[in-house]
A and B are shown apart, each in its own frame.
Chain A
Amino acid sequence: MRLVIPGQAVRETMGLPNRWDFLVMPLVLAALFGLAWGTHQMAAPYSLGQPLPVSLDPSNLPQYALRTTLRMAAAMGLSLLFTFSYASLAAKSERAAVVLIPLLDVLQSVPILGFLSITVTGFILLFPGSLMGPEAAAIFAIFTSQAWNMAFSYYYSLRMIPAELYQVSHLFQLSAWQRFWKLEVPFAMPNLVWNTMMSVSGGWFFVVASEAISVSGHNIMLPGIGSYIALAIQAKDLAAIGYAILTMFVVIVLYDQLIFRPVIAWSDKFKFELSQAEEVPSSLVLTLMQRTRLLRMLLTLPRLLWEISLKLFRHVPAKPLPRLGIRMSRRDQRLLDKVWVFGLVAAATLGGLTLARFVLSEVSYGEIGRVFLLGLATAARVFVLILLATLFWVPIGVWIGLRPKWAQRAQPIVLFLSAFPANLLFPLAVLCISTYRLNVNIWVSPLMILGTQWYILFNVIAGAAAIPNDLREAAANLGLNRWLAWRRLLLPAIFPSYVTGGLTASGGAWNASVVSEVVNWGTTTLTATGIGAYIAQQTTRGDYPRIALGIAVMSLYVIILNRSIWKTLYRYAQERLRLD
């Protein structure tokens, strides 16, 4: 993932290994070995219906954890590729952006987990007789949970690049390849890295959910932590669940320490600011890596590759940017725009009609109405939960955020909690509900927000911590009482970041509804009334028209709610409450 390495250019890189090397070398070797083994296993032969050997023996857990992690890594690689190509295209062609950006918006709102059963059959056909099929489906599911917001972030970064920097790269005749690595990627880096890391954190939830898939009656269980826990649920093995949670805990700690923090700390130098920040993110592991001679030597490799690439791609000067380039005559332009829009409308209509025919071939209008009502039930659940989480976390977040020492300690913990896949905890909740005979419709609901509430807390802390000291002093100086200080200073100041957190949390809750409205424990199945449960049930049954209907209706709800509520709040926050 290291891209351009503008490291210490002149410092010598040769020499004997130092003591750090002895520490890091075995780790690197082990990682390489693990990678080779894991990818080999992925390509093992497989045919649908053949049970995959997943056992509850805890000694298998390290191996399962590795395979789960590899799936995650593969998905992230794909997401990055997607991001660079898709977002670049959108940023450089206005005509493409007309389609690509709304498309991303919609894709972001589609419940990923509902798709899984559809994509898995396709992938099995694509890789007949190989485990690659189901693996690819799982990886694709994780990909869909990560790619969209990464692409968005990269797209917005590209559009924010100052015109003068583009002029410099144009003036010195950088090739498109050079411009990409020396200007565009570095500029986007802090945001992209942050979004990638957040995506990976969110991805653990989906990787767990997508390993155990049922396709038209067959249960596919890919070796991994998700399957392990699914098996434990079937076997009602509480100890195994404990082991799985413990393993996941270790995995997340390793991920947090070895990847998340070093990468965030590293990306800090790409921040486009010309003043030195007082506090920069730091990571012990990054410091270790920067001081290890062996790893520093490894870093010469990308530099070498860069020089080679310069030779290969030399020298195709980049085309002038659209905003600088010569435009077509206005009439041609307008005509082409019209054709383009017409084509889009036609394609959209055709797509809509096809989908409608597909759904209506099986489903009555009455049922469609019922599905909309189910959607309403889930919407109500999401709304109430977000409200409760807000009432609970906003005061706590503000309290923490106003105390820098606390905020510094709390933020990594909250990030860690948000990465922990909440679905591992579902069985425990089911156990409670069935033991105490609680109302399923009410008590299943908190599961939806278990994993996503942290986004609210995290953003509120960040917002409160960013309140300028001047304002707080002015408020104290004016003698604002507690209520007035909240109303006039604290709430408006945290509102923009709260909206960001709330939007993420609500999107996550919708997605989680597919796995949290139907929960199992052995033979006990708890089903709540909602559209998530509907999609889950139809998926198990393999009823594609109804899955399509469920997904379409849920997407519609999410889009409408995002547009009407969250985007409005967001705009309000951006226009009026920004602190600059």
Chain B
Amino acid sequence: MNANQNEPLLRVEGVSKSFAAAEKGHVNVLEGISLELKAGEIVAILGKSGCGKSTLLRLMCGLIPPSSGEVRYRGKRVTGPMPGISMVFQTFALFPWLTVLQNVELGLEAQGIEPAERRRRASEAIDMIGLGGFESAYPKELSGGMRQRVGFARALVVNPDILLMDEAFSALDVPTSETLRNDLLDLWIERQIPTQAILMVSHSIEETLLMADRIIVLDSSPGRVKADIGVTLKHPRDRESLAFRQMVERIYSVMTTAIVPSEAEQAKAARVGIGHRLPGVTVAQMTGVLEEINQPAAIGSAELPELAEAMQMEIDDLFPILDALELLGFAKVSGRQITLTRHGRGFVEADIQRRKLIFGERLLEHLPLAGHIRRVLAERPSQTAPEQRFLRELEDYLSEEEAERVLAVMIDWGRYAELFAYDYNSGILSTGQPEEESGP
């Protein structure tokens, strides 16, 4: 098969990725992902946290190998990093001991380009991205936005076909990311960079809508392609326009809707077992969202886009909280609407002590793990149990890391509800309050 005009630049075919877990073999992070990236388009991958979008990006540039399926770049199988694919990192990933110029030169040096040529190209890239004059500065002398510009210059100087962006703007404040995004779009639209296609991973619906020609929504655990939505809005896009708002609402609906609603709903109810992956949110976050929905104007239900805006949250922050609220039966999400349940209203209208009581009841009713811990503690004469006991059980279902995270969330919730106590030093769970520690 020869690479011709119609051949997509990058093609992902049935890619799955799993990581080893303790007992039960492995955990699937991505499952059967197929997508194409064509010349001339910006594609965004959107998904909740933990849907494997960053993993997918790393598979595409050959940083990690897929468990099954394959990635093809211009018809050739990707087995490792290659010069045509470049990436910008969320954390910038600059080398702090190198100057701006040296950071940008890094990739050219690896390609064995002569020093003079290297310097010329790096200087051009630095000028283009608007960093001229800062060549000899060290990253620590720069602000966040400037650092990410270095990241862009470093990625673009090697003249990549494909530019991957791993949440490239999410570590920046709002005005800074806005400026940087616009500058990048200008370079792209005016064809000042030889880059053929951009693939970005993001957790901001607005950001993807401002940039992308196509949005691919991923479902989580395991990550699967849920929808592929074309965006036909013209640049520059106006986020206040009706068409834009409608797109935002449409994407919210897609994200909250399960692929086959009824079946998935049933599966969900059945799935909440001991090893359920509890979302890592705090009680305070849940309370905050519940209080927002329960405002007199909102009368117990809210539109997700408005809720996100009011609470200044991106989907990465918002969706885990929604998951937790649904899990505990405090709220119901359908379409892009969230509605308080009877318990949710009761909780939010109660005082601090009463809230703890209600929260505890919900935990015991909806989370098998909470009840399980209570039972084990009660059965033991000492009324205590080491955390390892529960970790080992969780590791039957989850990876070691994930088991620890889930138990930590459970302990946090359980402590709030005063279902059980936990002693950090000994790692022991107990029914009562921990004894006063005896000095350092």
Chain A residues within 8 Å of B, Cβ to Cβ: 4, 6, 8-11, 162, 164-165, 167-168, 170-175, 178, 182-183, 186-187, 189, 269-276, 307, 310-311, 314-315, 317, 320, 324, 326, 487-488, 491-492, 495, 575-577
Contact = CB atoms under 8 A, between A and B. Distances in A.
Given A165-B95, A168-B93, A576-B425, A269 B112 contact: no
B115 A307 contact: yes
A161 to B, nearest CB: 11
Nearest to B87: A171
B52 interface: no
A273 B97 CA distance: 10
A182 B105 CA distance: 12
B89 interface: yes
B115 A165 contact: no
Given A173-B83, A173-B110, A276-B140, 17 more contacts: A4-B97, A162-B93, A164-B89, A164-B91, A171-B86, A172-B158, A173-B81, A175-B110, A178-B109, A182-B95, A182-B106, A272-B96, A310-B112, A315-B110, A487-B440, A492-B440, A495-B440
Interface string B106-124: 1101111001000000000
Contacts of A273: 96, 140
Contact of A183 (B64, B95, B101, B141): B95
Contact of A182 (B93, B98, B154): B98
Contacts, number: 105
A310 B97 contact: no
B99 interface: yes
B72 to A, nearest CB: 18
Contacts of B85: 171
Given A162-B93, A165-B95, A170 B440 contact: no
Contact of B140 (A11, A175, A275, A320): A275
A6 B102 contact: yes
B348 interface: no
B213 to A, nearest CB: 25
A326 B140 contact: no
Interface string B128-155: 0000000110111100000100000010
Interface of B, secondary structure class, is loop
Contacts of B112: 310-311, 314-315
Nearest to A276: B140
Contacts of A4: 97
A173 B85 CA distance: 11
Given A171-B61, A274-B139, A9 B93 contact: no
Interface string B64-78: 110000000000000
Contacts of A183: 95
B106 A172 contact: yes
Contact of A167 (B63, B115, B140): B63
Closest 4 CB pairs of A and B: A172-B107, A164-B93, A186-B97, A492-B440
Contacts of B439: 487
A310 B109 CA distance: 8
Nearest to B82: A173
Contacts of A171: 61, 63, 81, 85-87
A172 B110 contact: yes
Q: Most chain-A CB neighbours within 10 Å: which of B82, B91, B97, B440? A: B97
Contacts of B106: 168, 172, 174, 182
B80 interface: yes
Contacts of A168: 89, 93, 95, 106
A417 to B, nearest CB: 30
A9 B425 contact: no
B58 interface: yes
A577 B440 contact: yes
A183 B109 CA distance: 14
B98 A274 contact: no
Contacts of A576: 425, 440
A275 B140 CA distance: 5
A436 to B, nearest CB: 42
Contact of A491 (B110, B141, B440): B440
Interface in B32-65: 58, 61, 63-65
A167 B88 CA distance: 11
Contacts of A314: 112
A10 B93 contact: no
Contacts of B158: 172
A269 B86 contact: no
Nearest to B158: A172
B97 A170 contact: no
A480 to B, nearest CB: 14
B201 to A, nearest CB: 14
Contacts of B107: 172-173
Contact of B136 (A10, A272, A307, A320): A10
Nearest to B113: A310
Contact of B99 (A6, A182, A275): A6
Nearest to A186: B97
Contacts of B115: 307
Nearest to B151: A168
A399 B96 CA distance: 35
Nearest to A576: B425
28 contacts: A6-B97, A8-B136, A9-B99, A9-B101, A9-B102, A164-B93, A165-B95, A167-B89, A168-B89, A168-B106, A170-B63, A170-B81, A172-B106, A172-B107, A172-B154, A173-B82, A173-B83, A174-B109, A174-B110, A175-B110, A189-B97, A270-B97, A274-B139, A276-B140, A310-B109, A311-B112, A317-B80, A575-B425
Nearest to A178: B110
B147 A274 contact: yes
A269 B138 contact: yes
Contacts of B87: 167, 171
A165 B110 contact: no
Nearest to B102: A6
Given A164-B89, A487-B440, A269 B97 contact: yes
A479 B98 CA distance: 48
Nearest to B439: A487
Contacts of A8: 136
